[in-house]
Chain A
Amino acid sequence: MAMLLLLAIPLAGALFLGLTGNRRWAPEGNALISAATLVAAIWLTGSVDAKGTVFFLGGQFFVDSFSVFLVALTALIGFTTALFSRSYMRVEVQHARIGGGRMRLYLGLYQLFIFTMLLALTSNNLGILWVAMEGATLATVLLVSLYHTAAGIEAAWKYFILCGVGIALALFGTVLMYFAASKLLGSQGTNALLWTQLEQVRGQLDARVLSLAFVFLLVGYGTKVGLAPLHNWLPDAHAEGPAPVSAVLSGLLLNVALYAVVRCKVLVAGAAHSALAGNLMMGFGLLTMTLAAFLLWRQKDIKRLFAYSSVEHMGIATFAFGMGGPVANFAALLHMTVHSLTKSSLFFTAGEAAQKTGTQLMEKIRSLLTLSPSTGWALMLGTLAILGMPPFGVFTSEFLILITAVRDHPWSTPFLLLALAVAFSAIFFRVQAMVFGESPPSQLSPRSSLVPTFVHLGLVLMLGVYIPLHLAQWYNAAAQLLG
């Protein structure tokens, strides 16, 4: 029941807002629908907590300890972003950057996007997972070009084509997976693509076919995670869309794509009896984080800066999942959680800062602290959190990943340390200049709505100091499951 509500509310909300999104109360309606989704997610979380893995519709949908916290996180960030976009999008309408019709498009697609991600997370069928991932691209591509600027259209086109090609490779991987499975489970009916079925027989699946399938799946879904060398779409799409869209792209879509990769990795690692899948993920992860850290230096746009930081953090998480083992998996799951919370809050703040100063160029954003103390502090604290300063949660996860790497794969330690240090110096001094730097004061100063930002940062701080028992149990159970 909770599962049905979880999927039905955003879908119905998308239809409803697609029809009525230009009304004056529509942004509040959007927040209300997201709140209802969050309630359904909490209900579902409760029943998973009580009964363990929950199945729905004869096993076609399921939520286990790996997906449960992602479902909760998606619903939570979906809700806070809806709250944030309520005021943010109103200001955009006042500045005449978008009209009523595009507001309707925005709200309808926003709910559709949340629906596709929840579908991807709860689907047991690898084919439906693919369909939902592609649906998430389709839902967001028009959001990226919402402003109809030349750069926005270019970014959206690039996003569409690159992710389309990537996702096509993932479909081929899925076909290969189905091929290997149908020999064991039979091709009649639809059970041969159910993840829980595949997981039971994973030891008997053909290793060669699955290894080949994983290469396609990793490159395919990896495009959406933002893994190098197919990460090009990510900074453009994040920089050109509205801030709430950047926040959900970075905070949620990347996570769901990584979730898909990890689900496939579990099957392949079980079948291949070798470290191939893990090694591939470690290699791509290291390459991605190092490349992104150096590219951070060349950024001039505040949202591009944080977009590259997302690429870097996704690289770290991919690397950690690649290492495997209880500690690294635990750390990677924690990292996904805290990165989502921190990065979406940073995109909220970056959006606010851009609205207040009228530019996204970092060299023109100065003295945020005097312009608006809450924005300045939010940006500074968020930056410290994302750079892995204690006592924030990112420090905990990065520390765990680092010590596991030192213990199991010492050769990778220099790369990790180098990437972290380069990223630190690239981001910190720029943000410092933006927050504390001197400049003539500007007159633009719309009302702040940074409650969601501080809620996120508070949660990240809490996860750095204290991880609730239930969450730790899920992380542990999921880490066991992922092997």
Chain B
Amino acid sequence: MTNLPLELINTCAALLLLLSFAMLSQRRVLTQVDLYAAQGLVLGVSILITAWNTHQPHLYYSAGLTLLLKVLVLPFILHRLIRRLDAIWETETLLNMPSVLLIGLLLVMFAFVLAQPISELATTLTRGTLGIALAVVMLAFLMMITRRKAVTQVVGFLAMENGLLFAAASTTYGMPMVVELGVGLDVLVGMFILGIFLFHIREQFESLDLSHLESLKED
């Protein structure tokens, strides 16, 4: 067995991490959605390579589900939402980009340290990528904390789920099929509900800026 598949998967993992950083520093809402779709594509391809390499039939379904949901359906819904909400040109001012990226860098290091003992125990071909998966989760988390626009938070939420799926694929060749289907269903339903929400927020505050949503505080 050559190491080609492994090389390919590692490349995919590196691409995922790069895309996460790109999302973290992207100002335009629409571009963020495209970056998310790209992330889904890379994720789907990496699962497909793993499936082809390990001959696990359920991974093919998983890859198919990922490609369908994350490259086609969810970005399509998000694009339509953004268009309906007239948010195409929406950008946000990013405060302290250098320090956010620096924190991101530290998070990546932390993720690798955390993943180290587990990767050592794993027997899968793709075990080295767990650190990257965890880093993707943490970067998405950071994005949600630092952003003030509702759509960006949604994208961050979805990117976090990408990282989790990648973690599952890299440590155990994916979760049982029924669980993956359930997770997919939850994400899809969650997306619809978030879409409804964006309209409510828009209707109530006439903007998608979440700084309006800070009245409920203890005083």
Contact = CB atoms under 8 A, between A and B. Distances in A.
Contacts of B185: 131
Interface stretch (A44-52, A78-86, A138-146, A464-472): A138-146
B157 A158 contact: no
A125 B177 CA distance: 12
A171 B164 contact: yes
A141 B193 contact: yes
Contacts of B214: 154
B171 interface: yes
Q: Is the interface of A mostly helix, strand, loop or mixed?
A: helix
B218 A157 contact: no
Given A150-B204, A212-B118, A298-B218, A168 B178 contact: no
Given A161-B157, A171-B164, A154 B193 contact: no
Given A135-B186, A161-B153, A298 B219 contact: yes
A192 interface: yes
B200 A153 contact: yes
A289 B13 CA distance: 42
Interface in B133-189: 134, 137, 141, 144, 150, 153, 157, 160-161, 164, 167-168, 171-173, 175-179, 182-183, 185-186, 189
Interface string A406-432: 000000000000000000000000000
Contacts of A209: 117-118, 121
Interface string A205-222: 010110010000000000
A189 B194 CA distance: 33
A175 interface: yes
Nearest to B153: A161
B213 A168 contact: no
Interface stretch (A179-187, A257-265, A310-318, A382-390): A179-187
Given A150-B205, A161-B144, A193 B179 contact: yes
Interface size class of chain B, counting residues whose CB lies under 8 Å from the partner chain: 35 or more
A151 interface: yes
Nearest to B192: A138
Given A165-B160, A183-B123, A151 B171 contact: no
A176 B133 CA distance: 13
Contact of B178 (A127, A149, A155): A127
A142 B189 CA distance: 12
Contacts of B172: 175, 178-179, 182, 187
A220 to B, nearest CB: 11
Q: Find the residue from B134, B144, B190, B219 having the highest chain A CB count within 10 A.
A: B190
B38 to A, nearest CB: 21
A190 interface: yes
Nearest to A60: B178
B167 A172 contact: yes
A295 to B, nearest CB: 7
A157 B121 contact: no
A227 interface: no
Contacts of B201: 153, 157
B213 to A, nearest CB: 4
A128 B200 contact: no
Nearest to B194: A160
Contact of B161 (A160, A168, A183): A168
A461 interface: no
A156 B153 CA distance: 14
A164 interface: yes
Contact of A131 (B117, B134, B186, B212): B186
A171 B216 contact: no
Contacts of A138: 186, 189-190, 193
Given A125-B179, A175-B175, A189-B176, A154 B164 contact: no
Contacts of A178: 168, 172, 175-176
Contacts of B117: 208-209, 212
Nearest to B189: A138
Contacts of A192: 176
B197 A175 contact: no
A237 B157 CA distance: 20
Contacts of B2: none
B196 interface: yes
A131 B114 CA distance: 25
Given A130-B183, A298-B218, 17 more contacts: A125-B179, A128-B179, A138-B190, A150-B205, A154-B215, A155-B216, A157-B197, A157-B210, A158-B213, A161-B144, A175-B175, A182-B172, A183-B121, A190-B177, A193-B175, A212-B118, A298-B219
18 contacts: A127-B183, A142-B196, A145-B197, A148-B204, A150-B205, A153-B200, A154-B215, A157-B197, A165-B144, A168-B164, A172-B137, A172-B164, A179-B122, A187-B172, A208-B121, A212-B117, A240-B216, A295-B218
Interface of A: 125, 127-128, 130-131, 134-135, 138, 141-142, 145, 148-151, 153-158, 160-161, 164-165, 168, 171-172, 174-176, 178-179, 182-183, 187, 189-190, 192-193, 206, 208-209, 212, 236, 240, 295, 298
